[in-house]
A = this chain, B = another copy of it.
Amino acid sequence: MMWTTGKKKDSRGDINGRARQGFLCNCSTNLKLLLTALLVICILVNLLQYLHPRILNFYPDYLHYCISHASSSPPPPPPSMLPAEIVVEPGIIRRAFRTYGWAAYNYIIIGAYRGGPSTFAVVGLSSKTLHLHSNASYICQWLPSNSTSSSTPIFSQDQAKIFPDWKLGLIYSVVVVNCTFSHPVNADNSGGKLLLHAFTSGGGDLNLNLTDTIEALEELPGGVDFSVFTSEPKYEYFYCGSPLFGNLSPQRVREWIAYHVRLFGTKSHFVLYDAGGVHPEVLEVLRPWMELGYFTIHNIRGEERFAGHYHNQFLVLNDCLHRYKFATQWMFFFDVDEFIYVPPNSTLKSVLHSLLRYTQFTMEQLPMSDQICSSNDLNATYRKWGFEKLVYRDVKRQLRRTRDRKYAVQPRGVRANGIHLSEHVNGKSTDLEDQLKYFHYHGTVAERQEPCRILTNSTELTVKSNLYVLDDRMVKAGDAVKRFERKTIGDRLLKTQQ
């Protein structure tokens, strides 16, 4: 049914060699014959286009089959060479639909990860209309490194396509393909490749079922540590960030890091996705923490090429989920203008311990003003950190609850995820009331200036018909976080700018 990578590489190398000989005009009679034969085949395939369409109802399939064996990428649909119209008999005109070009990729892969000994998740984008209006499908194949052309191909038995951002995509939507084989693959750790075959299944053109064969994952001999699927994870807490873009404030990022590294502790790790937001000054505040092993940055600036929902946020979140699934007990999804808040008399550890029976929990937002500060801070605002001085909470906005939640999961039970929650969870989910919340300083990280623009000493204030109330619960953490930063990385970031 499929075509193997092994074969392709061979024939590629073959042609390479021949080309070089031909170029030097050092060709034997045999070679000339071979060249001629090859060209004749090419020409014959082209000639077929000019025959009467009735003779050619097999044509697109045939051509597809033919070209698929020559390249790891599928051919485009052939150009239409039919005449625009033919008068079949007086009064009856047969019209042709002449087709041109390319408007979207079939699949764009960002990563593929094991979900266990016999299961994989492939994370990528695919044409939104392809999936809305046709049944484009997928199948995985395992190609052992020691397979030969006579080996029986190993295909996945079950393949689920999941659309985590369904209906939100633009030209592209995220498609996570979960492939499961009937038996563990590469169980002897001798290496091999996971291929994803992506079929358009008549989408774009009912006459065509184009197939792309994608090298999703390569495992080198001895390269898989199968123990991760059953052993304790390395980290307790893991942070998966959304795409960072724009001219972010290094000082706000600095504050967020110090706060959360202190909160999450030494058995934690943070992954940031750089869609253009990690500029040199932001990198500077990250660097001390990267050196201590707390942070990994994924440069995904290439994502801007593909029109998806909000800098392809769903793609990044799913990449992070599957890539680090077995690395952590808990995995958090929130933004760098959001601060997890643990109420007094409890700790993150105690709260999460009480939630172990849930695969997922969501936290309520506490939306904060990005410009109202306390006039008590009048002469000190520049010295204070954002969460110390932005102490007025937007009461109205807090009511829009469902959309304004963020969440964490035990990732081994999650098949795909979203921004405000995962809808693809094995196990129970719960919406937390008071155990954990998050303060949201919307708009502060994307601004590179002092945020305090309104100073007040009242406990309530109405700005643009929004009621704000004093909420200084975060203030208390300020000194401890600053001491923690200084103790952990010294004074390297003391001169950080807004």
Contacts and interface: CB of A to CB of B under 8 A. Distances in A.
B205 A92 contact: no
Contacts of A95: 110-111, 298-300, 302, 319
A83 B6 CA distance: 12
Contacts of A170: 129, 132-133
A55 interface: no
A305 interface: yes
A434 to B, nearest CB: 36
Given A12-B50, A39-B22, A105 B100 contact: yes
Nearest to A278: B92
Contacts of A212: 100-101
Contacts of A32: 32, 35-36
Interface in A76-113: 76-81, 83-85, 88, 90-111
A51 B213 CA distance: 20
Given A36-B27, A101-B198, A19 B2 contact: no
A288 to B, nearest CB: 11
A467 interface: no
Copies per assembly: 2
A72 B50 CA distance: 12
Interface in A198-251: 198, 200, 203-207, 210, 212, 214
Interface in A325-375: none
A3 interface: yes
B35 A19 contact: no
A160 interface: no
Nearest to A88: B299
Interface stretch (A40-48, A147-155, A378-386): A40-48
Contact of A75 (B12, B76, B81, B104): B76
Interface stretch (A289-297, A424-432, A458-466, A489-497): A289-297
B100 A109 contact: yes
Interface string A128-166: 111011101000000000000000000000000000000
A74 interface: yes
Given A101-B200, A111-B84, A299-B92, A33 B38 contact: no
Contact of A297 (B74, B92, B133): B92
Interface residues of A, number: 103
A84 to B, nearest CB: 6
A161 B207 CA distance: 28
A266 interface: no
Contacts of A205: 105, 305-306
B171 A133 contact: yes
Contacts of A109: 84, 97-98, 100
Interface string A289-323: 01101011111101111110000000000010000
A23 interface: yes
Nearest to A204: B104
B102 A98 contact: no
12 contacts: A3-B83, A73-B76, A73-B80, A74-B76, A74-B102, A92-B296, A95-B110, A99-B107, A100-B106, A104-B129, A129-B171, A132-B170
Give the top 8 A-B pairs by smallest Cβ distance, nearest first.
A101-B106, A73-B79, A103-B127, A19-B43, A101-B212, A91-B290, A100-B212, A76-B76
Given A84-B111, A105-B205, A133-B170, 19 more contacts: A2-B84, A22-B39, A25-B33, A73-B78, A85-B111, A91-B295, A92-B290, A92-B299, A93-B296, A94-B299, A95-B319, A97-B303, A98-B214, A101-B106, A102-B210, A129-B171, A132-B171, A206-B306, A206-B307
